[in-house]
């Protein structure tokens, strides 16, 4: 660690860092957390029959460009050093995500997309607060993190199911298409996770990981609040 | 699972959570509200020029010549006709057509350089009218195929306006370039008399 790292400099750096994180959250926050492009939407509606690869692609795209999922995953693996733990937690998330996506679409049960997305934003807040040790320190009780990741996985999948249902989907090949979509979600999640893990492996070897772990989780929490607030506005104005 | 060291105090955690929440509220009200919903309670939207983002861009300038056209034709039972326009990629066209009886139609486009007979279909139905706008996804020939599946004569009247080139007509044994006409059937590319 450099001798220049006195308190003032650290504080300044943290402020800059926090600013960047908020900038990121704002620049990526749009009306829908998962913008399915208009062309994609038109395609999904026009499809009649089995279309395995287009739906796989849409699923993967959803995951790689769905920053609320990505932020949640960053939160989840932040303090997971062992690959075994990463696999366990991500599998729990996937289990939850897949279950509600398939269940929601096949039974045609949906909720308000803005409310679900606001909850997903709050899942980021939750995970960041958990990483900060907030539950132990402030409430003296920490919810089981494995259960929590499973439950939030259920919400994430439900959010997607709700969005997919906004399109009038053809019943022909629906199950195959949804399974393809879900498979694509896993492929996309794997790709996104690989990128995040590469970044974390690099970062953890450095002193800055310890220095900014606190600031990063605070920024993550702020981004989660912004995402949730954005969705609440959507609910107020469009529902 | 490793955690933060040193562990932050409960006081600091509460403080930082409240601060994080307040920053998020400020960002949502000061930035997202004007940028996405066009509301500007704090005046930050106009100060930072964010208000324009929430508006639909009302004007899309076009560079090619503006044209209008009206086509009226009669289809005998089982007869078909294809009426198309040349549009370059991104060029737009408004259209409205009406038939005196239900016809089977297909709106399709053949990209330049595509093999003969190849076309991408965008809309197909059996109906007696359709209105809308079209933006060419690629340069080529774009238009309607109508077929009279009934047992009576049907008259179709198509009116278009937009940024297209020449019109083509293909029916049974006649195929070729068709001059554009106005609503009274007067030729549009002829000088006024």
Return the SS3 of B79: coil
CA nearest A57: which of A169, A214, A188, A171? A188
Any domain includes B78: yes
What distance in Å separates residue A214's CA from the closest CA in chain B?
Answer: 7
pLDDT band at A83 (very low <50, low <70, confident <90, very high): confident
| Same domain? B45 vs B88 | no
Does A26 map to a domain?
A: no
If asked whether residues B111 and B158 sit together in one domain, one would say yes
Would you call the peptide bond into B45 cis, given omega within 30 degrees of 0 as the criterion? Answer: no
- Whether A8 is in a domain gets the answer no
Residue B193 lies in a domain: no
Packing angle of the helix pair A207-238, B10-27 (nearest 10 deg):
50
Predicted local distance difference test score (pLDDT) of residue A29: 44
B154 and B132 in a common domain: yes
| Residue A172: inside a domain | yes
Mean pLDDT on B103-122: 89
Q: Does the beta-carbon distance from B36 to A230 stay under 8 Å? A: yes
The answer to the question of residue A82 being in a domain is yes
**Is there a domain that residue A7 lies in?**
no
Same domain, residue pair B100 and B137? yes
Contacts of B34 in chain A (CB under 8 A): none
Q: What is the pLDDT of residues A139-186, one digit of tens each?
A: 888 888 889 899 988 988 888 787 777 665 667 777 888 888 888 888
In a domain, A181, yes or no: yes
pLDDT reported for residue B43: 87
Q: Provide the domain count of chain B.
A: 2
Going by pLDDT thresholds of 50, 70 and 90, the confidence category of residue B161 is: very high
Mutate to test the interface with B, among A82, A126, A138, A210 (most CBs of B within 10 A): A138
Residue B183 lies in a domain: no
For A113, B134, B140, the CA distances from B126, given in Å and listed in that order, are 35, 19, 25
Which of B64, B72, B18 is closest to B165 using CA atoms?
A: B64
The C-alpha atoms of residue B147 and residue B125 are separated, in whole angstroms, by: 11
Query: Mean pLDDT lowest for which of A51-55, A97-101, A169-173, B44-48?
Result: A169-173
Q: Are B134 and B47 in the same domain?
A: no
Residues B163/B93, Cβ–Cβ less than 8 Å: yes
* Contact (CB<8Å) B16/A213: no
Residue A29: closest CA among A212, A195, A227, A166: A227
What secondary structure, in 3-state letters, does B114-129 show? CCCCCCEEEEEEEEEE
Provide the number of structural domains found in chain A: 1
Percentage of chain B exceeding pLDDT 70: 95
B152 within domain boundaries: yes
Are A210 and A86 spatial neighbours (Cβ–Cβ below 8 Å)? Answer: no
Residues B39 and B100 in one domain: no
Domain annotation covers residue B187: no
* Whole-number pLDDT of residue B21: 94
In a domain, B35, yes or no: yes
Looking at the fold, whether B134 and B41 belong to one and the same domain comes out as no
SS3 B93: strand
pLDDT confidence of residue A14: 57
Q: Do B2 and A133 touch (CB under 8 A)?
A: no
Which DSSP category does B27 fall into? H
Q: What's the confidence (pLDDT) of residue A15? A: 57
* DSSP secondary structure code for residue B187 in this structure: B
Cβ atoms < 10 Å from Cβ of B86: 18
CATH no. for residue A203?
1.20.1250
- More confident of the two residues B53 and A129: A129
Residue B61 lies in a domain: no
Whether residue A103 lies within 8 A of chain B, CB to CB, comes out as: no
Average predicted confidence (pLDDT) for chain B: 87
Cα separation values, B4 from A6, A11, A84, A86, B9, Å: 20, 17, 21, 18, 11
Between residues A166 and A219, which one has the greater pLDDT? A219
CATH number, residue B94: 2.60.120.680
Residue A86 maps to a domain: yes
A82: domain range? 52-238
Exposed/middle/buried for A13, CB within 10 Å: 0-12, 13-18, 19+?
middle
| pLDDT for the residue A188 | 87
pLDDT at A221 over 60: yes
With 0.80 as the threshold, say if the pTM is over it. no
CA distance A157 to A114: 14
SS3 A12: helix
What per-residue confidence (pLDDT) applies to B178?
84
pLDDT at residue A42, as a whole number: 62
Helix (H, G, I), strand (E, B) or coil at A57: helix
Determine, yes or no, domain membership for A4: no
Instruction: Give the pLDDT score at B25.
Output: 94
Asked, for residue B169, whether it belongs to a domain, the answer is yes
Do residues B74 and B40 share a domain?
Answer: no
The model's confidence at residue A4, banded by pLDDT at 50, 70 and 90, is: very low
Residue A16, pLDDT score: 58
- Are both B50 and B72 inside the same structural domain? no
A65 touches chain B (CB under 8 A): no
- Chain A segment 22-41 residues within 8 A of B by beta carbon are 22, 25-26, 29-31
3-state secondary structure of B190: coil
Answer yes or no: do B4 and A218 touch at CB < 8 A. Answer: no
Task: Out of B4, B10, B32, name the one closest to residue A26 (CB).
Answer: B32
Radius of gyration of chain A from Cα atoms?
19
In the structure, what pLDDT confidence band is assigned to residue A35 with cuts at 50, 70 and 90? Answer: very low
Å from A103 to nearest chain B CA? 32
Residue B94: domain span: 67-178
Residue B95 has pLDDT above 90, yes or no: yes
For the residues A105-127, what does the mean pLDDT come to? 87
């Amino acid at each position: 660690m450099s001798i220049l790292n006195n308190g003032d400099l650290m504080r300044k750096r943290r402020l800059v860092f926090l600013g960047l994180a908020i900038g990121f959250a704002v620049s990526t926050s749009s009306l829908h957390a998962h913008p399915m492009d208009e062309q994609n939407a038109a395609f999904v509606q026009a499809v009649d029959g089995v279309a395995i690869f287009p739906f796989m692609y849409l699923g993967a795209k959803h995951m790689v460009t769905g920053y609320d999922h990505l932020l949640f995953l960053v939160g989840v693996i932040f303090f997971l050093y062992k690959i075994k733990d990463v696999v366990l937690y991500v599998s729990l998330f996937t289990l939850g995500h897949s279950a509600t996506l398939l269940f929601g679409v096949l039974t045609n049960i949906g909720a308000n997309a803005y409310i679900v997305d606001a909850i997903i934003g709050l899942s980021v807040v939750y995970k960041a607060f958990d990483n900060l040790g907030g539950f132990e320190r402030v409430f003296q009780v920490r919810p089981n993190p494995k259960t929590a990741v499973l439950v939030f996985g259920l919400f994430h999948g439900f959010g997607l199911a709700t969005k997919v249902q906004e399109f009038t989907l053809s019943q022909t090949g629906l199950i195959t298409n949804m399974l393809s979509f879900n498979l694509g979600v896993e492929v996309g999640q794997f790709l996104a996770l690989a990128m995040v893990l590469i970044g974390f492996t690099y970062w953890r070897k450095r002193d800055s990981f310890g220095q900014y772990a606190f600031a990063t989780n605070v920024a993550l929490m702020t981004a989660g609040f912004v995402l949730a607030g954005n969705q609440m506005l959507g609910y107020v104005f469009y529902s | 699972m490793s955690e933060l060291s040193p562990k932050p105090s409960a006081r600091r955690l509460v403080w930082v959570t409240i601060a994080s929440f307040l920053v998020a509220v400020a960002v949502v009200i000061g930035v997202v509200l004007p940028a996405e919903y066009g509301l500007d309670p704090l005046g930050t939207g106009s100060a930072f020029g964010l208000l324009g983002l929430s508006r639909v861009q009302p004007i899309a300038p076009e560079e090619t010549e503006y044209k209008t056209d009206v086509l009226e034709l009669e289809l005998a039972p089982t007869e078909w006709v294809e009426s198309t326009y040349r549009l370059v990629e991104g060029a737009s066209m408004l259209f409205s057509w009406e038939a005196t009886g239900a016809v089977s139609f297909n709106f399709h486009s053949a990209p330049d350089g595509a093999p003969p007979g190849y076309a991408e279909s965008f809309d197909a139905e059996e109906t007696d009218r359709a209105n809308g706008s079209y933006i060419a996804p690629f340069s080529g020939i774009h238009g309607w195929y109508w077929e009279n599946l009934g047992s009576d004569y049907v008259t179709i009247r198509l009116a278009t306006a937009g940024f297209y080139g020449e019109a083509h007509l293909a029916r049974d044994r006649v195929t070729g370039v068709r001059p554009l006409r106005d609503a009274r059937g007067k030729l549009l590319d002829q000088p006024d008399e």
